[in-house]
Structure 1
């Protein structure tokens, strides 16, 4: 059969998508609570209706034919859209629920996102959280994450990026360090100071609203952990360039204070990254919540 497909075959299309996702008939059948033989027969009927073989069946696994790959890529979106539409209708009667799997940079998450996540959790008691704060960048296509919060420009054009805010880093030091080493008043002064840098950064670019200045910086410590940089700064070991949101606790306690207030670093964008635009309610609400809160900053 070519052209229009019979309405009864739409359910079989959904079954085909589940078989491919599960990488086998048995796993898909178990997940959907139906006999393996019934599932195999339904997929066979779909292939007959289309007139093309979609799957190569072996004793251990299934493999997509070329036609099957094309069909799967198109049909998975249709199935996702239908599932999303079904869920959104259900949301009219109940709160979003389920496990929200999110990835975020550890220092940004623990110092800045934590109170926002706590507030969001209070608003949506039906949502549980599985948070990955590993330093690596998770693969949203092959790993089961709903959303990743990332700082800096995205290099992956396959993902959907929603900009949440931009955060400008500023200069901070401890009272003890400033008492011992003096306080810089202009960018060039930083060359004579101990600067705590991330990942061997040897230049800080600073802006005062009218001009930009690239300043060579250095010191005895180069780190890849913002928490450690903050701690060393409170121990009078040097000047740091970080977002105010990341050093909020140290500022409120007086362990750090801002210096050279007319100058700041290059703003860093914050993005919510997803693999698709077809988002379940839990993910959509989370992104909307973060966007609204961060827009106030």
Structure 2
């Protein structure tokens, strides 16, 4: 249909070929197949040009209208993708969202004024199939293999403690000395894998506290209860305020991936733009 319109507009196969990049012979063959399919002659062919038959004129007007409508729809779709709108429902990790993502969310909202937001801050594994979320941002390896996981960042955990804790217990100079310290764990199992350049060590650490909430672990660290191993982005406010300071700054833990989880690969523009934005901004971390 579109090729037929181009041939008519160019008044010949050569001009249409130059406009579309389709060879003359291919254009001629396709028009012949079209005429055969509808059972009507659409063009009078001469050595210099082509002219519409009466049936061809009627068919051309209809085709042109359809092609023009398709182009308009494509342009409108492009505008929608450039300025997406609607309600974006997202599940975010509590402490990472409050401490680090808040200014990014404000920046994204300013960039796309047509989007409204419904954020659920929780550490639980939300069900993207049965719950009305467009996307869930999670730290660590995804547990649900049925979901589509798009990596948006990789954060490096470092060691931090409060000045009062270090004044009371001393500052470790080597990873092995962590065995003599209170080390606050987010998960069970007291084994920290640390790396400095190409050198890697594993240290068995102990603590009176094992907590499955980053916010509480961070708060306990600021209150002088021990050393914590978390990404800098989680404790940025505490570092700026002096409530926490780096410990063994040359060493870091295993990279912690951040993923955008969705139920499907077919995403509306608002969700696509949100994921792309986070990947752009968090990828610079």
Provide the TM-score with structure 2 as the length reference: 0.71
Q: CA deviation at 1:123?
A: 1.2
Residue in structure 1 matching 2:203, options 215, 229, 250: 215
Residue 158 of structure 1: how far off its partner (Å): 2.2
Mapped to 2, the partners of 1:157 and 1:200 lie a distance apart of: 23
Correspondence 1:207-286 to 2 at 5 A: 207-286=195-274
Deviation, structure 1 residue 134: 2.3
1:166 corresponds to which of 154, 158, 177? 154
CA shift, 1:87, in A, is 10
> Would you say the 8 A contact 1:150–1:273 is kept in 2?
yes
1:89 to 71, 74, 77: 77
Q: Conserved in 1, the CA contact under 8 Å of 2:89 and 2:133?
A: yes
Q: What SS class does the counterpart of residue 185 from structure 2 fall into?
A: strand
Partner of 2:91: 103
Q: Secondary structure at the match of 1:264?
A: coil
Question: Structure 2 unaligned runs (5+)?
Answer: 1-72
Q: CA deviation at 1:291?
A: 0.6
Output the aligned Cα RMSD. 1.9
CA contact (8 A) 2:81 2:269 kept: no
> 1:87/1:130 Cα in 2 relative to 1: closer, same or farther (>3 Å)?
farther
2:177 match: secondary structure: helix
1:157 lines up with 2:145 in the alignment: yes
In structure 1, what is the Cα distance between the partners aligned to 2:251 and 2:81? 51
Q: Give the alignment's TM-score, normalised by structure 1.
A: 0.68
| Counterpart Cα distance in 1 of 2:81 and 2:223 | 54
Do 2:221 and 2:227's aligned partners in 1 also have CA atoms closer than 8 Å?
A: yes
Residue 129 of structure 2 is aligned to residue 141 of structure 1: yes
Equivalent residue for 1:80? none
Partner of 1:54: none
Deviations 1:165-223 (A, max 9, x none): 10010001111111111100111100000111113231111111212211111112221
| Structure 2 counterparts to residues 111-150 of structure 1, below 5 A | 111-150=99-138
From 175, 179, 197, give the equivalent of 2:185.
197
Distance 1:282 1:138 in 2: 20
Q: Distance in 2 between matches of 1:132 and 1:120?
A: 17
* 2:272 match: secondary structure: helix
Count of residues in correspondence between the two structures: 213
Secondary structure at the counterpart of residue 288 of structure 1: helix
Q: Which runs of 4+ in 1 moved over 3 A?
A: 85-88
Alignment CA distance shift 1:87-1:263 (3 Å): farther
In structure 1, what is the equivalent of residue 16 of structure 2?
none
Name the CA distance, whole Å, in 1 between partners of 2:222 and 2:168: 13
SS in 2 for 1:272: strand
The answer on whether the counterparts of 1:140 and 1:275 sit within 8 Å (CA) in structure 2 is yes
**Residue 91 of structure 1, CA deviation:** 2.7
| Bigger Cα Rg | 2
CA distance in 2, matches of 1:155, 1:200: 17
1:180 aligns to what SS in structure 2? helix
Question: Paired residue for 2:164?
Answer: 176
CA contact 2:88–2:116 (8 Å) conserved in 1: yes
Structure 1 unaligned regions, length at least 5: 1-84
